[in-house]
Chains A and B, each alone.
Chain A
Amino acid sequence: MDKKTKLKSFNKSLPWILLLPLIALVLMFYISPIVITVPLSFTNMGLSFKWMFVGLENFRNIPRDPIIPQIIRNTFVYVFTTLIVFNFGMAVLLSLLTTSISDKWGGFFRTLWMLPRITPSVVYGLLWLWIFDPSKNGLLNIILSLLGMPSQDVFHHNPMLLIVFANGFVGASMGMMIFSAAIKAIPVEYYRAAMVDGVGWFTIVRKITLPLIRWHLLFITAYETLSLFTSYQYILIITNGGPINRTNVWALYTYQTAFSNFKFGYGAALSLVLVGVGVIAGLLYIRNIHIESTSNALEI
């Protein structure tokens, strides 16, 4: 081979050389775990890390597990309450309100709502523990006592509320940013025309803004449902599923099965559901990028 063809073949393989580290890491931390989860779920692997295949036993055990019905109920309450009130509801409200005032102040409020998202999760957890502190020192009880109302012990009486609020204040910002960007992209002529007709803010929102961002609304609803389903970080920090599993959800229970009880085989079986959800989320995401809607949010 002379020098020229050598260089040519080097240039041809150059993109793959540049992509090598990316591909290696993707293989190691995405592809292999996905592949390994499947055979792992047919074993009863524990702390001994022996591959002992037990057939379908783990899957037969799931419906027999006495705690599973409660877990499923909690998961639905957690996912849909958080979604409706915050990740969708609050997100729509915030995006409509912050785009109705000056850009400077609208941007200020949006930045404020990003703060929970960039705060380390442990510190963020502390903030909510304080807000719902059952003693007189918590924010909620300070406000209640100012209003002359009795103190509340949310932590023991309605722990799911705490979880929904903590997750919701983080979750609302994603929808808020995407909806705000979509609203700002609506041609201003539409609004002028509506103003000439003399219609009010609510009519404009209902007849112009919301219909025009309906794909974004749909995407966020679907995507956030899936991502709430697999998220457990804040629950782990704030209540760790307690008191007595009242805030335990599928994703957290999977985690506890593997890392508190060291039942890796059973944990893998439980996590197959989550992997399925994850794959759907990924497919949904690329489909949506194809219809170009979130690309502006991604591209900085």
Chain B
Amino acid sequence: MIKKEDYKLGFLQRNSSKIFNLTVYSILIILSSPIVLAYAWLFMRSFSTGMKHGFIPIGLTFNNWRFMWEQISGLPNVWHVTLNTIVLGGSVAGVVLLVSSMAGFALSRFTFKGQGKLLLLILMLHAFPTVSLMVAIFYILRITHLLNSLLGVILLRASMDIPWATWVIKGFYDGIPREIEWAGAIDGYSRIAVWRKVLLPMVKPGLIVIGVFEFLSGWSEFIFITTFIFSNKWWTLSQYTYTALGGYRFADYGLLTAISVWYILPVTVLFIFANKYMTQMSLGGIKG
């Protein structure tokens, strides 16, 4: 018979799962600390006159935000630039939604020659790094007169994301039972009408995810703007922030952080209110 005292457990053994958890959390907190500290600094710094020991904010001020009502040397009007950024984000979302919802429907609901190959091509393009084609894309935008125009960047950014969006929305279409479509057909709808009136409302969750993600994709676009846009009439916030970074790096953190906080506002909103979806949708869209 085993008596109680025969199998005394040591402190470490009794608390092994607690100690394990404590260790895991500590490591995760240490590893993630640069992210947390950097974003915390970004927000705090934008509202303060300076930082004690580099990190503790002193003196609340809105002077850093003066770019919203004053002219900053070397930078165009921020409201105009913000409007351009909204147009870019909104148009990219619009184009991607239109093209991918049509293509996804065709790929999910029809059988035609070359379908399998087309699907593979779409997947392959999703993984293909566009930045390697910049030289030739510059040439193509030039001969189509799309250089120095937001339309060029909109079409380009949208094209980069359409393979991903088509693949995602096709998955949503695939999940809808065929019977629902037949019911529509029996009611006398054509295939297009069935698509518009029956299927599209049913894939709405997918459309919302793609729409939000594509808005952010256009909103954040940098390389295409800085390479293919020459006049500050068509600047977006990425070029605005980049130019500010060039002029004031290491010099005026107040201004730079305030501009940055303004720029990442939509990302912040998404992070706070919809972070559950954020992880799900971010992966497919951007390449590591």
A101 touches B21 (CB 8 A): yes
Q: Beyond the given A22-B100, A37-B135, A142-B53, could you list 20 further A-B residue pairs with CB under 8 A, ordered by the A residue number?
A: A11-B191, A14-B191, A15-B110, A18-B102, A29-B160, A37-B133, A105-B25, A117-B282, A118-B216, A122-B238, A122-B241, A125-B245, A130-B41, A136-B54, A141-B54, A175-B288, A251-B131, A271-B135, A281-B128, A283-B124
Which single member of A109, A267, A285 contacts B28 (CB below 8 Å)?
A109
B270 touches A113 (CB 8 A): no
A271 touches B133 (CB 8 A): yes
Chain A interface size band reads 35 or more
- Which residues of B43-84 are within 8 A (CB) of A? 51, 53-55
Residues of B within 8 A of A226 (CB): 129
B131 touches A264 (CB 8 A): no
B125 touches A26 (CB 8 A): yes
What are the 10 closest A-B residue pairs judged by CB atoms, nearest first?
Answer: A274-B132, A285-B127, A282-B124, A33-B136, A174-B288, A18-B106, A15-B110, A230-B129, A33-B133, A15-B106
- 0/1 interface trace, chain A 16-28, chain B, CB 8 Å (1 if under): 1011011001101
Task: Kindly state the separation between the CA atoms of A128 and B249 in the bound complex, as whole angstroms.
Answer: 11
A112 touches B278 (CB 8 A): no
Which single member of B24, B123, B166, B227 contacts A259 (CB below 8 Å)?
B227
- 0/1 interface trace, chain B 227-258, chain A, CB 8 Å (1 if under): 10000000001100110010001100100110
A29 touches B250 (CB 8 A): no
Residues of B within 8 A of A230 (CB): 129, 131-132
- 0/1 interface trace, chain B 116-138, chain A, CB 8 Å (1 if under): 00101111111111111111111
Tell me the total A-B contact number using a CB cutoff of 8 A.
296
Q: Given A19-B118, A112-B32, do A231 and B24 touch, yes or no (CB 8 Å)? A: no
Task: Kindly state the separation between the CA atoms of A221 and B206 in the bound complex, as whole angstroms.
Answer: 30
Residues of B within 8 A of A34 (CB): 133, 136
Residues of A within 8 A of B171 (CB): 299-300
Residues of B within 8 A of A113 (CB): 32, 35
- Which residues of A32-52 are within 8 A (CB) of B? 32-34, 36-37, 40, 49
Query: Which residue of chain B lies nearest to A285 when distances are taken between CB atoms in the complex?
Result: B127
Q: Given A26-B125, A282-B124, do A121 and B222 touch, yes or no (CB 8 Å)? A: yes
- 0/1 interface trace, chain A 51-79, chain B, CB 8 Å (1 if under): 00000000000000000000000000000
B223 at interface by CB-CB < 8 Å? yes
Residues of A within 8 A of B37 (CB): 139
Sample of 29 A–B contacts (CB below 8 Å): A14-B106, A16-B106, A21-B102, A29-B133, A30-B159, A40-B135, A90-B31, A101-B28, A109-B28, A110-B279, A118-B271, A119-B267, A120-B241, A129-B250, A139-B34, A139-B41, A139-B55, A178-B283, A201-B20, A224-B288, A230-B132, A233-B222, A255-B131, A258-B134, A258-B135, A278-B129, A286-B120, A297-B284, A298-B168
- 0/1 interface trace, chain A 266-278, chain B, CB 8 Å (1 if under): 0110010011011
B202 at interface by CB-CB < 8 Å? no
Task: Kindly state the separation between the CA atoms of A78 and B102 in the bound complex, as whole angstroms.
Answer: 41
A286 touches B38 (CB 8 A): no
